[in-house]
Amino acid sequence: TTSTSRIVAHEVAHQLFGNIISMDWWNQLWLKEGFASYFQYEAISVLYPELDSLVDQLEGIFGAFNYYLTNRMHSMDIPDDDKKSLLKIYGAVSYRKGGAILRMVRGII
């Protein structure tokens, strides 16, 4: 299914982005999750074009925009000494916004 393919691709991407290449501290979590989210859709679009991963990715991006409109947002990057905020950085912002930013960078390059 699409959901299973997305999860497997995301976790395989973590083998490189998160396990081999990683951030210095958890405050840069959006890089790890953003790269994994971005490459999960790229892998699915190449391996399973019939799953239409671009539509799925855009739905995720619009979901992140909607999250912005309905919730109090936090920065994707938190200060190193703000350990209480570490759990807050997991969520739509780290996954969807991080992937969306990487997609925009790709479009610019």
Q: Within 1-109, where are the H helices?
A: 2-16, 29-47, 53-70, 92, 98-108
Note if 11 is an active site residue: yes
What token pair was written down for 83? 């350990």
Q: Of 11, 33, 42, 50, which residue is the catalytic one?
A: 11
CA separation for the pair 63, 27 (Å, rounded): 23
Query: Contact at 8 Å (CB) between 36 and 14?
Result: yes
Query: Contact at 8 Å (CB) between 67 and 36?
Result: no
Q: Which amino acids are annotated catalytic? A: 11
